[in-house]
Amino acid sequence: MARLFGTDGVRGTANGGLTVELAMQLAGAAATVLAPGGEGRRPVAVVGRDPRASGEMLEAAVTAGLAAAGVDVVAVGVLPTPAVAYLTGEYAADLGVMISASHNPMPDNGIKIFAAGGHKLDDAAEDRIEAALHDGVTPARPTGAGVGRVRTAADAADRYLAHLASATSVPLDGVTVVVDCAHGAASHVGPAAYAAAGATVIAVSAEPDGLNINDGCGSTHLDALQKAVVEHGADLGLGHDGDADRCLAVDASGAVVDGDAIMAVLALSMRDRGELRENTLVATVMSNLGLHLAMRASGIEVVTVGVGDRYVLEELRRGGFSLGGEQSGHIVFPAHGTTGDGILTGLRLMERIAATGTSLADLAAVMRSLPQVLVNVSVSDKVAVAADRAVADAVAEAERELGDTGRVLLRPSGTEQLVRVMVEASEDTHAQAVADRLAKVVAGI
Q: Annotated binding residue at 243?
A: yes
In this structure, are residues 80 and 157 in contact, taking their beta carbons and an 8 Å threshold?
no
Catalytic residue among 102, 187, 205, 219: 102
By residue count, the chain amounts to 445
d(CA 316, CA 120): 13
Residue 90: its H or E element: helix 81-90
d(CA 113, CA 95): 7
Q: Annotated binding residue at 187?
A: no
* Cα diameter, the chain: 71
**Residue 227, class by beta-carbon neighbours within 10 Å (0-12 exposed, 13-18 middle, 19+ buried)?**
middle
Q: Annotated binding residue at 102?
A: yes
d(CA 127, CA 129): 5
Is residue 54 among the annotated active site residues?
no
d(CA 219, CA 250): 10
d(CA 424, CA 430): 9
Cα distances from 119 to residues 34, 94, 105, in angstroms, run 12, 11, 26
Closest to 338 measured CA to CA, from 361, 317, 318: 317
In this structure, are residues 333 and 348 in contact, taking their beta carbons and an 8 Å threshold?
yes
Annotate 195-240 with DSSP letters as a single string.
HHTT-EEEEES----SS-TTSS-STT--HHHHHHHHHHT-SEEEE-
Query: Catalytic residue positions?
Result: 102
Enumerate the known binding-site residues for Mg(2+). 102, 241, 243, 245
